Amino acid sequence: MKKIVASVMAVATLALAFAGCGKKDDKKFVVGFDQEFPPMGFVADDGSYVGFDLDLAKEAAKRMGREFVAQPIAWDSKDQELATGNIDCIWNGFTISGREDGYTWTKAYMSNDQVVVVKNDSAIASLADLAGKTVAVQKDSSGLAALEDNAALKDSFGDLIEMDSYLNAMMELEMGSVDAIVMDEIVARYEIQTSGKAFKVLDEAVASEEYGVGFLKGNTALRDEVQKAMDDMAADGTMAQISNKWFGADVTILGK
């Protein structure tokens, strides 16, 4: 009888253990982000994760009474990360335009353009000048989506190279391996300013868009919780303060 009881208890213990596997900790707020996307989310010199979007997410987590967790992800695996529950949301210069039906979204909190970055001494001065040129873009990015929506422009390129990150694309541009990059203006201007690279942004944009926080389709409960925190941050000036910290001005649009 003792052996039977012990066996039953062992099975029950294992059942409880397995029941706990994969269960989401609702006391945490796990934010997926591209760690090579400054100033929205990136790795600081001390190895910590920092950025404008991460500061917003951290403040939102605080207001929701949750523990903030910054989770770097491969950008082209973001859908899988959401679907498996490894992350609660994507908060990292995430473009709503063209993805409206793919996720459950917050309201837009920031505007952005997809622009072209070239070397200062480049003869490329307009989108038309990209004809026959080698252009880089990040895989599964809004820049790539913007080009797919503008077939005439995309087809005019000599070659389109999809890269893992925009920081790698900028390295290739500096070395002369590519002639131009199509990327987020926010990221481009921040990186040019902080790195001192001899790059410039063309005046003519490829596309205009807005940033939001994306959740797994149907996860309206957590979206609503985050939205309330964001609305409160916009109303009491906290969002503007965080924006000023990173951009020297309030570039947010939520509630305006």
DSSP class of 256: -
Q: How far apart are the first and last CA of the chain?
A: 71
When the pLDDT of each residue in the chain is averaged and rounded to a whole number, the result is: 91
Largest CA distance in the chain: 87
Give the pairing of strands 180-184 and 49-50.
unpaired
CA–CA dist 197, 120 (Å, integer): 9
Q: Do domains 25-109+212-247 and 112-209 have the same CATH topology?
A: yes
Quickly name the fold that domain 112-209 has.
D-Maltodextrin-Binding Protein; domain 2 (3.40.190)
Would you state the structure tokens that stand for residue 239, as one six-digit string? 């969002």
Instruction: Give mean pLDDT, residues 166-184.
Output: 95
Residue 1 in this model has a pLDDT that exceeds 90: no
Q: Rounded to the nearest 5 degrees, what angle is found at the Cα of 80, between the Cα atoms of 162 and 214?
A: 85
Instruction: Give mean pLDDT, residues 132-153.
Output: 95
Instruction: Give mean pLDDT, residues 241-252.
Output: 94
CA–CA dist 199, 190 (Å, integer): 11
On the CB side of 78, CA atoms within 13 Å amount to: 23
CA–CA dist 92, 153 (Å, integer): 27
Higher-pLDDT residue of 128 and 193 is: 128
Residue 98: its pLDDT value, please?
87
Residue 16: its pLDDT value, please?
40
Q: Cis link prior to 38 (omega < 30° from 0)?
A: no
Question: What is the band of 103 on the pLDDT scale with cuts at 50, 70, 90?
Answer: very high
pLDDT tens, residue by residue, 204-216: 999 999 999 999 9
Q: Rounded to the nearest 5 degrees, what angle is found at the Cα of 201, between the Cα atoms of 200 and 205?
A: 165
Residue 159 in this model has a pLDDT that exceeds 70: yes
Residue 251 in this model has a pLDDT that exceeds 50: yes
Residue 147: its pLDDT value, please?
96
On the CB side of 167, CA atoms within 13 Å amount to: 13
Residue 11 in this model has a pLDDT that exceeds 90: no
Q: Look at residues 31, 194, 193, 226 and name the one whose alpha carbon lies nearest to residue 109.
A: 226
CA–CA dist 238, 156 (Å, integer): 44
Instruction: Give mean pLDDT, residues 218-244.
Output: 98
Residue 195: its pLDDT value, please?
87
DSSP class of 232: H
Residue-range domain boundaries for the chain: 25-109+212-247, 112-209
CATH second-level architecture of 25-109+212-247?
Answer: 3-Layer(aba) Sandwich (3.40)
**Torsion, Cα of 36, 38, 44, 50 (10° steps):** -110
- Of 12-21, 59-68, 187-196, where does mean pLDDT reach its minimum? 12-21
Question: What is the band of 106 on the pLDDT scale with cuts at 50, 70, 90?
Answer: very high
Query: Residue 206 contacts by C-beta under 8 Å, 6 or more apart in sequence?
Result: 113, 114, 115, 116, 127, 143, 146, 147, 150, 153, 182
Instruction: Give mean pLDDT, residues 31-58.
Output: 96
